[in-house]
Amino acid sequence: MQHLLRSLRARRDRGDAGFTLIELLVVVVIIGVLVAIAVPTYLSYREGAADKAAQSDVRSGISAIEAHYTNNGNQYPGAPAAAAETTVSTNNTLTVDTMSIRVSENVTVTYTLAAGAATYTLCAVNANGTAAYTFSSQTGGAPTKKTTAPVKTC
């Protein structure tokens, strides 16, 4: 043990300090492995967050449309027409008649009022996500997730 301590002191006294090339290469390889693991995980979190933004926009849209329905004599927003009527969000806002719904960035929300204005459908897609979320007032329930191609359209 003392021999080892003497050799270490002698090495320190000679000024031998620093890392060997092998030690540096091992550190670089370890950092590379960690990055290779972290980047795909980070990207999947981003896609998941984008999908949740679209789902959240559908849920808030349902609340706003149902509030409009209750406050306006049991009529959904949009002019009653013989044919179905579709409105797509622009500039982060879905505007139908006097009702406006704030939409998350990169999310496109499509509101379709059925013929006769008895039911509606809401669909949201995030440009950075992997799913589309759809809600139909006819079936009710939670927004359904669509992950099959083409996902970027409702």
Check whether 38 has a pLDDT greater than 70: yes
Does a structural domain hold residue 20? Answer: yes
Q: What is the pTM of this model?
A: 0.72
Does a structural domain hold residue 154? Answer: no
Does a structural domain hold residue 153? Answer: no
Least reliable range by pLDDT among 4-8, 49-53, 67-71: 4-8
Q: What is the dihedral of CA 90, 61, 68, 100, to 10 degrees?
A: -20
Q: Is 100 left (phi over 0), alpha (psi -120 to 50) or beta?
A: beta
Q: What is the mean pLDDT of the chain?
A: 85
- For residue 124, how many C-alpha atoms fall within 13 Å in the half-sphere facing its CB? 29
Does a structural domain hold residue 54? Answer: yes
pLDDT at 15: 62
Tell me the two tokens of residue 36: 């290779």
Are 97 and 78 within 8 A, CB to CB?
yes
Domain carrying residue 14: 2-146
Does a structural domain hold residue 77? Answer: yes
Q: What is the mean pLDDT of residues 27-50?
A: 91
Are 144 and 107 within 8 A, CB to CB?
no
The number of distinct structural domains making up the chain is 1
Does a structural domain hold residue 151? Answer: no
